[in-house]
């Protein structure tokens, strides 16, 4: 799960460095236009000191948001804890990198005089954003009211959001156990029975394939004799019941069970299916 934490952090890691580099680039560009340009080292130093505050705040906020995850208990905590820890450590490390190596690399490798202006589409985006910010600040009261409204709606929707640690799987696969009431039932008899069960199950429109497992291997985990048999039923991927809620799929399995109760009453076969 630590690797999962790194994967989540991947997008966040560059953020701090980007904020620093963007500002350094901007300052270098401004410097190039001056009559008497200052040295690159000075510019890089001042520019990275300039955004030091925002970078630290941004990182602190990301870390604080993830901190409660560290205090989740039980299985969930064991599951998510390492991920969170790895994420937080990686983000803090990215802050250190952005404070130290990024400005140094900028000072070493960036061009002294970058005359090229920003890309035109970037300029257009920026002017559009500037315009919308102005418009928002003109109607500050309304913006605040809308914000409060949205927050209230979101908070009101909170109780209706379900939450489970592990969602129900709908794999479209059943393991069906069939056992004979007579303990000494032979392998041949169970195989014959299995052939009939398989034919019956395959006739169902939503069944893709079925396989029977009967008898036991020398060092098997299933320690029962040949009178018990397991069927693996694979359902068609687009079977309609797959999209239905889990209750429906239980009904489907119990209908399979009923089929066997009725048909193979000679041994009073009990078949139970689980997804």
Partner 1 sequence: MLILAVLYLFLRDVRAAFIAFTAIPLSLLAAVAVLNHFGLTSTP
Residue that is written with structure tokens 């709908």 in the block: 170
Dihedral-angle region of residue 143 (phi above 0 means left; psi in -120 to 50 means alpha; beta otherwise): alpha
**DSSP for residue 177:** E
Q: Does 124 bind partner 1 (CB under 8 A)?
A: no
Q: Does 62 bind partner 1 (CB under 8 A)?
A: no
Nearer to partner 1, 110 or 204 (CB): 110
Q: Does 25 bind partner 1 (CB under 8 A)?
A: yes
Dihedral-angle region of residue 88 (phi above 0 means left; psi in -120 to 50 means alpha; beta otherwise): alpha
Burial 111-142 (b: 16+ CB within 10 A, else e): eeeeeeeeeeeeeeeeeeeeeeeeeeeeeeee
Nearer to partner 1, 119 or 219 (CB): 119
**DSSP for residue 131:** H
Q: State the minimum distance, in angstroms, from the CB of residue 227 to partner 1.
A: 41
Stretch that binds partner 1, among 54-62, 75-83, 130-138, 165-173 (CB under 8 A): 75-83
Q: Does 3 bind partner 1 (CB under 8 A)?
A: yes
Q: State the minimum distance, in angstroms, from the CB of residue 53 to partner 1.
A: 19
Give the E-state strand segments of the chain in sequence order. 173-179, 207-214, 228-235, 270-274
Question: CA 64 from chain center: how many Å?
Answer: 20
Q: How far apart are CA 215 and CA 198, in angstroms?
A: 17
Which of 31, 48, 102, 249 forms a contact with partner 1 (CB under 8 A)? 102
Nearer to partner 1, 82 or 215 (CB): 82
Which of 32, 97, 191, 259 forms a contact with partner 1 (CB under 8 A)? 97
Stretch that binds partner 1, among 92-100, 129-137, 194-202, 231-239 (CB under 8 A): 92-100
How many helices and strands (H and E) does the chain possess?
A: 10, 4
Which of 76, 101, 132, 183 forms a contact with partner 1 (CB under 8 A)? 101
Q: Does 251 bind partner 1 (CB under 8 A)?
A: no
Within 10 A of 13 (CB to CB), how many other CB atoms are there?
17
Contact positions vs partner 1 (CB under 8 A): 1-3, 6, 9-11, 13-14, 16-18, 21-22, 25, 78, 81-82, 85-86, 89-91, 93-94, 96-98, 101-102, 105-106, 109-111, 114, 116, 118-119, 122
């Amino acid at each position: 799960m630590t690797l999962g934490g790194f994967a989540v952090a991947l997008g966040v890691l560059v953020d701090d460095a980007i904020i620093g580099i963007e500002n350094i680039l901007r300052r270098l560009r401004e410097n190039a236009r001056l009559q008497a340009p200052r040295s690159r080292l000075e510019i890089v130093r001042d520019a990275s000191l300039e955004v030091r505050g925002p970078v630290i705040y941004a990182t602190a906020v990301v870390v604080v948001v993830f901190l409660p995850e560290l205090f989740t208990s039980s299985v969930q905590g064991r599951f998510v804890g390492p991920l969170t820890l790895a994420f937080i450590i990686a983000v803090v490390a990215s802050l250190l990198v952005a404070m130290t190596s990024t400005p140094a690399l900028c000072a070493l490798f960036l061009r002294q005089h970058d005359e090229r202006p920003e890309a035109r589409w970037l300029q257009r985006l920026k002017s559009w954003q500037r315009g919308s910010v102005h418009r928002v600040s003109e109607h500050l009261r309304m913006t605040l009211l809308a914000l409060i409204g949205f927050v209230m709606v979101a908070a009101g929707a909170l109780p209706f959001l379900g939450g489970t640690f592990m969602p129900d799987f709908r794999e479209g696969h059943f393991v069906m156990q069939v056992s004979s009431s007579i303990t000494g039932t032979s392998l041949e008899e169970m195989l014959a029975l299995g052939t009939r069960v398989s034919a019956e199950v395959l006739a169902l429109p939503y069944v893709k394939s079925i396989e029977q497992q009967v008898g036991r291997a020398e060092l098997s985990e299933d320690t029962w004799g040949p009178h018990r048999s397991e069927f693996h039923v694979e359902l068609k991927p687009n079977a309609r019941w797959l999209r239905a809620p889990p209750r429906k799929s239980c009904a489907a399995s119990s209908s399979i069970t009923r089929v066997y109760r009725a048909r193979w009453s000679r041994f009073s076969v009990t078949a139970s299916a689980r997804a």
